[in-house]
Chains A and B, each alone.
Chain A
Amino acid sequence: MRKTYILEDLDCANCAAKIEEAVGKLDGVSKSTVTLLTQKLVIEVEEDKASSIVKEIKAIVKKFEPDVEVIEK
């Protein structure tokens, strides 16, 4: 299923690319796209992992961009 998150205050393009790559490598995620300009992260994730994946995403975002807030949409 597709899930969308808002990455509030994301303003570094290089970090956006890194976040996209790292989230894409998560278990259960088949596709990940970060769009800097809409500050959005869109993922295709397996149904049963959908609820637990937020934690992992938050950890990744914290690692690359500590100031960015992950908001579930």
Chain B
Amino acid sequence: MTKKLKKRIRRVLIGAVCYFAAVLWDKLLLASSIIIPVPAVIAELFLRNAVPNLHDMIRFAAFLTAYIVIGGDVVKNAVKNIGHGQVFDENFLMMIATVGAFFVGDYPEAVAVMLFYQVGECFQSYAVNKSRKSIAALMDIRPDYANVLRDGEEKEVDPDEVAIGETIVLKPGERIPLDGTILTGNSALDTMALTGESMPRDVSAGDEVISGCINLSGVLEVKVSREFGQSTVAKILDLVENASSKKAESENFITKFAKYYTPIVVFCALALAIVPPLILSGGWSTWIYRALTFLVISCPCALVISIPLSFFGGLGGSSKAGILIKGSNYLEALADAQIVVMDKTGTLTKGSFAVVKILAEEGVNEKELLELSAYAESYSTHPISQSLVKAYQDAGNEVIKERLGTVEEIAGHGVKAVVDGVTVLAGNEKLMKKEGISIGTKWKEDALTGTLVHVAKDGGYLGAVVIADEMKPDAQAAVAGMKAMGIKQIVMLTGDRKEVAEHVAEKLGITTVYAELLPGDKVDRVEELFGQKSEKGKLIFVGDGINDAPVLARADIGIAMGGLGSDAAIEAADVVIMTDEPSKIAKAMKISVKTLRIVKENIVFAIGVKVLVLLLAALGMANMWAAVFADVGVAVIAILNAMRALQTDQL
């Protein structure tokens, strides 16, 4: 709680006591039939008989004291603001309303309304502060210090002061201050704050670490690779902090609405105070009271505060889920998505090759097939060769160099190698043909979806290993999720072969595929698709940020599968999915829909209650209490509702 708020609460409490004392005094005297033997009361009664107006004067003084204690600052601010040329602010409106009530003779009501208003304001301040803090806590990834190793000594310095190439020491429980590479040590990292992923990530020497994560178990020595200003954490903080300054349409609408709303209500109040009494000739105090009620309702605060707060909550909630959205406007636009265009490699697939199938001929051991292919290809740096070695190693084996004899690479064909003294051929169809080995037809179907490495040993065909770009485990769920969100058209773009693209699309349930595209073609295809959506609908492009920056920029919303530390993606896109999971696209849409629903609820609720109370007040059916509720009560409820936007776990 801020000091200012504490002070305010204290004053309101003292004022409340004064008010209740005054009311009690008033009641005791009015109920003259119940004479309580309190000397003061008797004295007062006696005095009342002696000086008829004294009671009224005391009563007035008592309520005035309470009023000044409670609402003194409101009146002071109002007067000050008029001096600044600021007429229609809430202080002024409250002052006119309550001073007016005093003149009409409703002392208790004037004080009570001010009291209620102040209590509401305090609560509103408290709620805003609290929500601000809970959102800020989500984004609290800024490291406070770095333990840098200088001249063999550890020194605690500001992360800003550490240069590239210096070594920092990370102890368990500390936040990683800078990006770098591990020199020594093993540990698990908590990447929750950056990716929303709750499983710790195991790291060891040679691995890269990203600032903002928390080192959980071991001591690590890390060589710094980027200055703090360029580090992942600094970039993310900058992005998140600036996100709420890109305002959504509904935010701008509310600001504009507020600008006209207050003057209109104030002039209605003025008309209400003057016109009916003139027509009906009389009843001035009744109509003035009703007009004063109008003034209390005329403050637009509930709206103005709850709308941006809802968006802020939505932005906070999505970053908690590992989705960084660069502005309220994008959060708003996500709900209107109609066409989603997705890049295949790196978005729906992992973008790395892996062994997906082993087609062994009859009587051939699958393990042997993989083993021989891995040995034969173990010297190559080609991604396909490496995927063979990796699959072999993942099965718990090791490549022992001594077993490998001469290796001959035949460009465009494959490898001829001697393993355990036996000649092994590993390569494509052409290689087998060249060597006169018959390979049958078993592999034909798989050739459509991936790359084949045929293997022969000592002149005899063993079979083939199928290597393909693996689909991400949640790719299917991602497409299904988007369909469930009402996306009419999901399109896949890829530079890959048509057969491969269609195979992936079919598996995922995507009907429109454009394959064998050059990077420039992607923009043209997206341009074409723009013509197919309605005016209000939005086109989303999802890519991994490599080679597709122009398309990311051209789409209404560019979503990048960021991954940790991919600068190009973070910069080019409007939304960055830190976890690399395509299923987060649907989640982002859900957060958007939920946030917008809350925004709508707040707009309808706040305007609805205000208009209702205005009508009732004009008809004389609502008193000032109802009006204060329509002002601060509604604001508080709207704020509490806005805070729901922060809850995104269940979506």
Contacts and interface: CB of A to CB of B under 8 A. Distances in A.
B388 to A, nearest CB: 51
B540 to A, nearest CB: 26
A26 interface: no
Given A17-B255, A35-B308, A67-B4, 6 more contacts: A14-B301, A18-B86, A36-B128, A63-B84, A64-B84, A64-B86
Nearest to A63: B84
Interface residues of B, number: 33
Interface in B235-251: 241-242, 244-245, 247
Which of A37, A39, A64 has the most chain B CB within a 10 Å cutoff? A37
Contacts of A15: 89
Contacts of A16: 304
B572 to A, nearest CB: 20
B304 A13 contact: yes
B500 interface: no
Contacts of B85: 63
B304 A33 contact: no
9 contacts: A12-B301, A13-B304, A13-B305, A13-B308, A14-B89, A14-B299, A37-B308, A40-B241, A63-B86
Interface in B97-139: 124-125, 128-129, 131-132, 135-136
A42 B238 CA distance: 12
A27 interface: no
B190 interface: no
A28 interface: no
A56 interface: no
A31 to B, nearest CB: 9
Interface of B: 2, 4, 77, 80-81, 84-86, 89-90, 124-125, 128-129, 131-132, 135-136, 241-242, 244-245, 247, 255, 258, 299-301, 304-305, 308-309, 312
B245 A35 contact: yes
Contacts of A12: 90, 301, 305
Contacts, number: 61
A69 to B, nearest CB: 10
- Classify the secondary structure of A's interface with B: mixed
Interface residues of A, number: 21
Contacts of B2: 9
A18 B129 CA distance: 20
Contacts of A38: 132, 136, 241, 244
Contacts of A9: 2, 4
B303 to A, nearest CB: 8
A42 B241 CA distance: 11
Rank and list the top 7 A-B pairs by shortest CB-CB distance, nearest first.
A13-B305, A13-B304, A33-B245, A63-B84, A37-B312, A17-B255, A35-B244
Contacts of A35: 244-245, 308
Contact of A37 (B81, B135, B255): B135
Contact of B305 (A33, A36, A39): A36
Nearest to A67: B4
A38 B84 CA distance: 26
A11 interface: yes
Nearest to B302: A13
Interface in A3-36: 9, 11-18, 33, 35-36
A14 B132 contact: no
A36 B81 CA distance: 20
B258 A17 contact: yes
Contacts of B244: 35, 37-38
Contacts of B84: 63-64
Nearest to B84: A63
Nearest to B303: A13
Contacts of A42: 242, 245
Given A63-B86, A66-B80, A11 B128 contact: yes
Contacts of B241: 38, 40
Contacts of B309: 36-37
Given A9-B2, A11-B125, A37 B132 contact: yes
Nearest to B4: A9
A38 B135 CA distance: 10
B125 A14 contact: no
A37 B242 CA distance: 11
A14 B77 contact: no
B304 A17 contact: yes
Contacts of B4: 9, 67
Interface in A44-73: 63-64, 66-67
Nearest to B309: A37
Contacts of A67: 4
Contacts of A18: 86
Contacts of B132: 37-39
Contacts of B305: 12-13, 36
